[in-house]
Chains A and B, each alone.
Chain A
Amino acid sequence: MPLIEVRDLCKTYTMGDVSLNALCGVSVAIERGDFISIMGPSGSGKSTFMNILGCLDTPTDGTYLLDGIDVRTLSRDDLAEVRNKKIGFVFQGFNLLPRTSAIENVELPLIYSGVKNPERRERAIEALTIVGLQDRVHHLPNQLSGGQQQRVAIARALVNNAPIILADEPTGNLDTKTSMEIMELLVRLNREAGITIILVTHDSDIAAYSRRKIKFLDGNIVDRD
């Protein structure tokens, strides 16, 4: 059974009288331990697809099985639980809590799954060590460089042992050298920890780090290898 299985997924946005098909009939299966890039121009539906995979948004039609569970049957709080336990997010804009230290940002998923100190603290430090930020534990986001902030975000995605990392343009705000470092980190996590990574990018140099690519255009997959 694949980790993620999507069949005939549709997402329609209705604004007044106009309805827009952001996704239409997308089917794809992603195995455990895969590293897949989703490419395509803006407006092609790749971000919408990503949000549905991340249980941040719900599809209008179709089925989405995550680890065998039909996500469409889940309640709001069940979805929160799925995001907490199974999915780690890495965003283009980092999305760290401002005025909150690196370690407290990393601890966040653990707080919501009820892990208490000192275990919480230990696991957060462990995750920060994996991304190489063991010296920056108590720094605030605005005291960290972009690359370091993205590492904090990756540590946050790792800390609850989620099997999936969804990375939406993780290098979009970073220079080439830092981008390479981040991508190498993701590759390492994929190889060494077996974490399934789904990456959205429009940069083919970045996509080259992944094992396979799928290309979106006008709300559907046009090319897969």
Chain B
Amino acid sequence: MINLSSTVKIALRAIRVNKMRSALTMLGIIIGVGAVITMISVGSGAKQRISEQISSMGSNLILVLSGATTQGGIRFGEGTQPTLTIGDAVAIQEECPSVQYSAPVHRTTAQVVYSNQNWSTAIIGTTPEMLYIREWELSDGRNLTPDDIRSAAKVCLLGKTVVENLFGNINPMGQVIRIKNVPFMVVGVLRPKGQSPSGDDQDDVIYIPITTAQKKIAGTHFPGSVRSIMVKARSSEDLMAAERQITELLRQRHRLGPRQENDFTVRNLTQMMEAQEQSAQVMTLLLAAIASVSLIVGGIGIMNIMLVSVTERTREIGIRMAVGAKTWDIRLQFIVEALTLSVIGGLIGILIGIGASEIISVTSGWSILISPFSVLLAFGFSVLVGVFFGFYPAYKASMLKPIEALRYE
């Protein structure tokens, strides 16, 4: 058998001779590989973004919402009836074995003032556990303390967005801001977290002790009541058990009889977000599958052109056989030719795929993720296509009878 470099030279010559035809054949593979890479980039970009958001939310989260009110036949939404209390939050953490932390949440929106700046943001009254639940770290200062809660201290933690809007370049630590005219001292600044899965700015927030929120800010008619409780289960395996334990505990604490409906709702946030992540994964696979079809179509294009090439060059094959080309010499010649088409096409396709992904990311603002794996996958697939669709024409060429090939007109 002849050496590979001669075979590659013969293949390159054949491709050069039919430049236009080779370019068009390659185009099929270029589009196929480019499409596969672009689709996987967009899909895995979306998936990565979702999983980043999920981890920014904190993992193994359960949200307990208080019940819905009905006033004169008008039913309000979940959380309008203050059936949950701070005591519920404490009990959930202490009595449910599958729960690691729980924190009450009292959320209002208020205008915040510092010096001559003001900003409207979410004021969340909670307990120190909140930061553990959200897996949120401080970039400066300290967390709320149990003492702050007990004494309803007028202290607060600021999110990054609030700091930027109120303070600019000034260090906020130890400064006093006014929330609804009540002065609060800044004791900590939170690390930036970015967008939540639903697209909210998670850093546009102020945390204050729950007791202070109820007494000084909210002016609620139901002292000690909260709208919702955030819970963190010990692990993802504990999520289901935690949900069950919370439901049992709260039914007991709210003295609900067996026929009465729950006056609260337990929601598994992590599960919902994981479902979202999974659908992104499915979408990626689907996009890649559709793109692969174009790669296969490109492969059929190669096979088509190789068959034409074999027919056109029957005489050449005859001459090669007459001077001593063996079965595999001929076969390799055509396989390498098909492979060269698909490999060059694949390489150009990779460049175009990466380029297209970048363009999509710039123009639409979607996050994309070009993984070496997807590039290798698309390239490997195009090589496979070359060998697979090149083999039959090559086989056909190698099985010609020398004398018939030589006489072919």
The interface bits of chain B over 41-82 (1 if a CB of A lies within 8 angstroms of the residue's CB, else 0) are 000000000000000000000000000000000000000000
Q: Residue of A at shortest CB range from B315?
A: A95
B151 beta carbon closer than 8 Å to chain A: no
Contact call A51/B403, Cβ cutoff below 8 A = yes
Main secondary structure of the interface of B (DSSP, over half): helix
The interface bits of chain B over 297-328 (1 if a CB of A lies within 8 angstroms of the residue's CB, else 0) are 00000000000000000011011111111110
With A77-B327, A85-B324, A109-B323: A57-B3 Cβ-Cβ less than 8 Å? no
**Interfacial chain B residues near A116, Cβ < 8 Å:** 3
A100 vs B316: C-alpha distance when bound (angstroms): 11
A159 vs B318: C-alpha distance when bound (angstroms): 19
B260 beta carbon closer than 8 Å to chain A: no
**Interfacial chain B residues near A219, Cβ < 8 Å:** none
Contact call A108/B403, Cβ cutoff below 8 A = no
B170 beta carbon closer than 8 Å to chain A: no
B344 to chain A, nearest CB (A): 20
**Interfacial chain B residues near A96, Cβ < 8 Å:** 319
B252 beta carbon closer than 8 Å to chain A: no
With A95-B319, A108-B320, A116-B3: A57-B326 Cβ-Cβ less than 8 Å? no
B364 beta carbon closer than 8 Å to chain A: no
A152 to chain B, nearest CB (A): 12
Contact call B326/A81, Cβ cutoff below 8 A = yes
A76 vs B322: C-alpha distance when bound (angstroms): 12
B10 to chain A, nearest CB (A): 9
Contact call A80/B326, Cβ cutoff below 8 A = yes
A56 vs B320: C-alpha distance when bound (angstroms): 12
A95 vs B3: C-alpha distance when bound (angstroms): 24
Within 8 A of A (CB), among B376-409: 401-403, 406
B116 beta carbon closer than 8 Å to chain A: no
A150 to chain B, nearest CB (A): 14
Interface residues on B, range: 20 to 34
Interface residues on A, range: 20 to 34
Contact call A80/B324, Cβ cutoff below 8 A = yes
The interface bits of chain B over 15-26 (1 if a CB of A lies within 8 angstroms of the residue's CB, else 0) are 001000000000
B15 to chain A, nearest CB (A): 12
A104 to chain B, nearest CB (A): 9
**Interfacial chain A residues near B6, Cβ < 8 Å:** 111
B329 beta carbon closer than 8 Å to chain A: yes
A129 vs B277: C-alpha distance when bound (angstroms): 74
A54 beta carbon closer than 8 Å to chain B: yes
Contact call B327/A76, Cβ cutoff below 8 A = yes
**Interfacial chain A residues near B329, Cβ < 8 Å:** 80, 112
The interface bits of chain B over 365-385 (1 if a CB of A lies within 8 angstroms of the residue's CB, else 0) are 000000000000000000000
With A95-B406, A97-B316, A116-B3: A56-B322 Cβ-Cβ less than 8 Å? yes
B2 beta carbon closer than 8 Å to chain A: yes
With A95-B315, A95-B319, A97-B319: A112-B325 Cβ-Cβ less than 8 Å? yes
B321 to chain A, nearest CB (A): 7
A81 vs B323: C-alpha distance when bound (angstroms): 9
With A95-B319, A99-B17, A112-B2: A81-B324 Cβ-Cβ less than 8 Å? yes
A156 beta carbon closer than 8 Å to chain B: yes
A125 vs B272: C-alpha distance when bound (angstroms): 77
Q: Residue of A at shortest CB range from B325?
A: A112
A16 beta carbon closer than 8 Å to chain B: no
With A56-B402, A56-B406, A95-B406: A156-B323 Cβ-Cβ less than 8 Å? yes
Per CB-CB distance, the 8 closest pairs between chain A and chain B, nearest first, are A84-B324, A112-B324, A56-B403, A109-B323, A77-B326, A57-B403, A56-B402, A80-B326
**What would be 23 A-B contacts, judged by CB atoms less than 8 Å apart?**
A51-B403, A56-B406, A57-B403, A76-B327, A77-B326, A80-B321, A80-B326, A80-B327, A85-B324, A89-B322, A89-B323, A95-B315, A95-B406, A98-B316, A99-B13, A99-B17, A109-B323, A109-B324, A112-B2, A112-B326, A112-B329, A114-B2, A160-B324
Which residues of chain B have a CB within 8 Å of any CB of chain A?
A: 1-3, 6, 13, 17, 315-316, 318-327, 329, 401-403, 406
